[in-house]
Amino acid sequence: MTTEPRLPVAVDAMGGDHAPGEIVAGAIRARDELGVPVVLVGRPDELGDTGGLDVIAASEVIAMDADPAKSVRTMKDSSLVRAAEAVRDGKASAMVSAGNTGATMASALLRIKRLPGVGRPAIATPIPCPGADVPTVLLDAGANAECTPEWLVQFAQMGSVYARQRYGIETPRVGLLSIGEEPTKGTPLVKETHALLAAGEWAAAVGGTFVGNVEGRDVMSPDVDVVVTDGFTGNVVLKTLEGGMKALVKAILATFDTDDSTRAAGDALIPALLPLYAQLDPDNTGGALLLGLNGPCIISHGSSSATAVVNAVKVAVEMVDGDLCGAIGAAIRPA
């Protein structure tokens, strides 16, 4: 904990399917419930009652489906770009957005910049493991469709530092996503990365341990703490799980509605099912983190509610207080 006055977390008030209403409500709740300073970024006259929160004015809004690179290049007064600039300029400690994911990445990368030595930032997404205490950290979940072995090794380092700081795992178990346990399985990218991770030098300044290749079935298991993959595969995995879980839960809930007997049984089960539902609810994970930059950037899912914003601000503050970026910088470039 710092004894200096805390910098606020910059919240992009215009980003997300339920912006600005839910986002502003979440920002106010974050300040009140967590006791931390929050600053909104957006169009002042569209934010409604901000509960006395400071506002950084930004006149433009990057749409959810806009081209990320082009938007960030041309919309210099957008809420996303201004939020990233607030972090760059020392006016905010971290940024949170539920807006256009690609534009969030581009804004943060261009304005907050990479830590020295980091090849590419990566999106680290917590994957809940039903029944387990902590999620698995999947990275890269979509920042870089194409990767080099060296970047994947850095993802192992950044993911290990993150898993320790966020989930208290002293020696994170890092797995490399492949299509078989044997080092000979997979693409050339995976095989080369396997050799580098198995050599072990990456772990010297990090404290993680390489458990070898893991498969898709291990992503939602408690047997591995960090799953490293390229951003194409990681994004497909993330969305496959989202879609699969949603389809299965929907089908199960439909069986509850078969007849009076099953409806009564369903009602009786709801209290027991709620903790599981809460564990799988993306509003409760605190969002994904863009790792490898000079300041924490939290990427919340597009449908974020006020609760999701509260949890995202909470994670942002924890990462600032624990100096996640400093720890990642030290791991990537050991003194």
Residues binding a copy of itself (CB under 8 A): 129-131, 142, 145-146, 177-179, 185-188, 190, 215-221, 231-233, 235-252, 254-256, 258-259, 261-262, 264-266, 268-269, 272-273, 276, 280
The residue type found at 180 is G
Query: Which residue number, 195 or 269, has a Cβ lying nearer to a copy of itself?
Result: 269
Smaller CB separation from a copy of itself, 171 or 221 = 221
Q: Smallest distance from the beta carbon of 134 to a copy of itself, in angstroms?
A: 14
Contacts of 172 (CB under 8 A, 6+ apart): 137, 159, 160, 163, 164, 207, 208, 209, 225, 226
What are the backbone dihedrals phi and psi of residue 13, each rounded to the nearest 5 degrees, phi first?
Answer: -75, -15
CA angle 299-96-321, nearest 5°?
105
- Least distance (Å) between residue 175 CB and a copy of itself: 12
Least spacing, CB of residue 273 vs a copy of itself, in Å: 5
Give the number of other Cβ atoms within 10 Å of residue 2's Cβ. 10
* Residue placing its CB nearer to a copy of itself in the complex, 119 or 216: 216
Shortest distance, position 142 Cβ to a copy of itself, whole Å: 6
> Where does 41-147 have alpha helices with state H?
68-74, 79-88, 101-107
Q: Say how far apart CA 121 and CA 332 lie, in whole Å.
A: 12
Comparison of 57 and 264: residue with beta carbon closer to a copy of itself: 264
CB of 176 to a copy of itself, least distance (A): 12
- Least CB distance to a copy of itself at residue 172 (A): 20
- Nearer residue to a copy of itself within complex by CB, 34 or 256: 256
Based on CB atoms, which residue is closest to a copy of itself, 2 or 240?
240
Start-to-end CA span in the chain (Å) = 24
| Helix and strand counts by DSSP (H, E) for the chain | 10, 11
